[in-house]
A and B are shown apart, each in its own frame.
Chain A
């Protein structure tokens, strides 16, 4: 049985909000009986983009993470709903809140640990992203958020669970908060841009009386006398070691350039990325 999955690439999303807006365009003011009642004009973000900015000064990167209903296979919301048909999972993996039977079930909003269910005050119902099931049932090949994504950051895959497992392993895909054990069907690529840190800096040297950026200097990152990563500086003298765990303690940085000398420094990595600024070698 083929089922729907969504794969989000955190590194290529650049926050255009086309996914959010096209989903609003689809659902605001439009009723799809059996699938979803209309979304209110404001307040709901069935697809919501979170932002993470790392670094400081001249070394800053921003990443954007599309969050939505995870269409969980072990969905806390469906459990909370009970057997009255207010919530159910379709054979193709999509989770649906019945717009009629879920009337008054404000408790379902709190049942989602991801905060992906929204309360519609006017209609007195909980609502969320339905993977555009109403369109897929009319032979659409993808939901609107995927169709409108200009950078290809969103990908919808209709594959068997074993195929998806293979893809997830091959591409090292992650899910949000795996510890919750809800078995999400929304996967993430490059999630480290959100969850992990970098250590970076700029290498300078006094060359013929002028302070210059040093390109091509070898930089080594080590911890407890073990070399973890090596890198060389770019044209601006910048280096960056990424995918370090937050709060992972003290690191040692050593820089060496054949012609211009070397330098050694220590950096403490707390819960945010660190740009150490300039490091002068001699």
Chain B
């Protein structure tokens, strides 16, 4: 793709290339960095470094703005994955990192495990993680250390919080920036001049706590407290509540939370454990999270956690 300029740069905005160019000019390294080329020159150089010129001229490519790469010819396509292993042949697929140490026996023979076979009991974990009960060599069911079966904690915080990727924003991209998706009720709901993040609650759980559709709720545990707009429906099971991760905003105000404040922007990540799924690994355990919730009435004056007063209306609208 070769995108054309849509508008003139606003204000003092510059491209990454311009920014680095100007910094390196100040370090007297500009010429080395640019090799005397403008941004467009670089596009041309990269174009020439590919086999694209065999298909389209530079002039035509720039004019059209894109080139659709045709599918690879049948004859030159890669063989079916793993067929070489099933038929006990040498690996005939491209090797992304061709290191001999990846194979136990001959290079390209057998899969890249210590036994060279598909392993139900991992031989590397058997040797290397002997002292880590979190990583058994064979997959077994491990009860959650923070789930509905963790008795004591579940008595205090009886709901399991589940989080998925947001549906209407791409992580934080296009949330919290006054974008049009604020008008989608399943993303954020406008209540008394503030766009609240939504959370799904089963009707039975909502009834117990006297919560109706689009009531504000305070979801809390020992870690934090976050305000959401309730979306009551059986689309989430009993004792589960479901929201999206990656609210782009955090808006801490004084309130009934474990640290003396609550977040009203919907940053559910404040509630989740920082512990990883397994000792010595870095898999997030964000769905191992117990909470309780209660109806929430906004205070008349919001005080930020820095002690400043802010009007009821809304930093996240503008």
> For the complex, is A190 an interface residue (Cβ under 8 Å from B)?
no
Taken together as a complex, chains A and B put the C-alpha atoms of A53 and B236 apart, in Å, by 11
Instruction: Provide the B156-190 mask, 1 if CB < 8 A to any CB of A, else 0.
Output: 00000000000010000000001011111010001
Q: Shortest CB–CB separation between residue B316 and chain A, in angstroms?
A: 12
Contact partner of A56 (CB less than 8 A), chosen from B178, B180, B186, B234, is B234
Known A53-B234, A55-B234, A62-B235; judge A25-B183 contact (CB<8 A): no
CB pair B183–A53 under 8 Å, yes or no, is no
Chain B nearest Cβ from A59, distance in angstroms: 9
A60 CB–B CB distance under 8 Å: yes
Q: Contact: B178 with A41, CB < 8 Å?
A: yes
The distance in angstroms between the C-alpha atoms of A44 and B180, with both chains bound, is 10
| A28 pairs with B180, CB closer than 8 A | yes
Contact A24 B233 (CB under 8 A): no
* A60–B235 touching, CB < 8 Å: yes
B180 engages A21 (CB within 8 Å): yes
Would you call A45 and B234 a contact (CB within 8 A)?
no
B180 A57 Cβ-Cβ under 8 A: no
Is B235 in contact with A45, judged by CB distance below 8 angstroms? Answer: no
Number of interface residues of A (CB under 8 A): 19
Complex: how many Å from CA A97 to CA B234?
40
In the bound complex, how far is the Cα of B234 from the Cα of A21, in angstroms?
27
Give the bracket for the number of chain B residues in contact with chain A: 10 to 19
Chain A residue nearest in CB terms to B233: A53
The residue in chain B whose Cβ has the minimal distance to the Cβ of A41 is B178
CB contacts (< 8 Å) of A25 on chain B: these are 180
A42 within 8 A of B: yes
With a cutoff of 8 Å between Cβ atoms, the chain A residues found around residue B180 in the complex are 21, 24-25, 28, 41-42
Give chain A nearest CB distance to B29 CB in angstroms: 43
Is A45 touching B186 in the complex (CB atoms < 8 A)?
no
Known: A17-B168, A41-B178. A24 touches B234 (CB 8 A): no
Q: Are B234 and A43 in contact (CB-based, < 8 A)?
A: no
Closest Cβ neighbor of B231 among chain A residues: A51
Among residues 63 to 89 in chain B, which have CB atoms less than 8 Å away from a CB atom of chain A?
none
The CA of A21 and the CA of B186, in the complex, are separated in Å by: 14
Within 8 A of B (CB), among A225-255: none
A5 at the interface (CB under 8 A from B): no
How far is B182's CA from A45's CA once the two chains are assembled, in angstroms?
11
CB distance from B223 to the nearest CB of A (A): 31
- CB neighbours (8 Å) of A51 from chain B are 186, 233
Instruction: Check A24/B235 contact, CB under 8 A, given A17-B168, A41-B178.
Output: no
Q: Does any Cβ of B come within 8 Å of A20's Cβ?
A: yes
Closest Cβ–Cβ distance, residue B122 to chain A (whole Å)? 32
Residues of A within 8 A of B182 (CB): 42
Residues of A within 8 A of B186 (CB): 15, 51
Once bound together, how far apart are the Cα atoms of A157 and B44, in whole Å? 46
Give the distance in Å from the alpha carbon of A195 to the alpha carbon of B238 in the complex: 26
Find residues 16-52 in chain A having any chain B CB closer than 8 Å to their own CB. 17, 20-21, 24-25, 28, 41-45, 51
> How far, in angstroms, from A245 to B234 measured CA to CA in the complex?
21
Partner of A53, one of B235, B237, B238, B317: B235
Residue-wise interface mask of A (109-140) relative to B, using a CB-CB cutoff of 8 A (1 in contact, 0 not): 00000000000000000000000000000000
Give the shortest distance, in Å, between A141 (CB) and chain B (any CB): 23
Residues in chain B near residue A62, CB distance under 8 A: 233, 235
Residues of A within 8 A of B234 (CB): 53, 55-57, 60
A24 neighbours in B (Cβ, 8 Å): 180, 183
- Alpha-carbon gap, A15 to B235, bound state (A): 14
Which residues of chain A have a CB within 8 Å of any CB of chain B? 15, 17, 20-21, 24-25, 28, 41-45, 51, 53, 55-57, 60, 62
Q: List 9 A-B contacts (CB under 8 A).
A: A20-B183, A21-B180, A28-B180, A42-B178, A42-B180, A45-B183, A53-B233, A57-B234, A57-B237
Taking Cβ atoms with an 8 Å cutoff, the residues of B that contact A are: 168, 178, 180-184, 186, 190, 203, 233-235, 237-238, 317
Known: A20-B183, A42-B182. 13 other contacts (CB 8 A): A21-B180, A21-B184, A24-B180, A25-B180, A41-B180, A42-B178, A42-B183, A42-B190, A42-B317, A51-B233, A53-B235, A55-B234, A62-B233
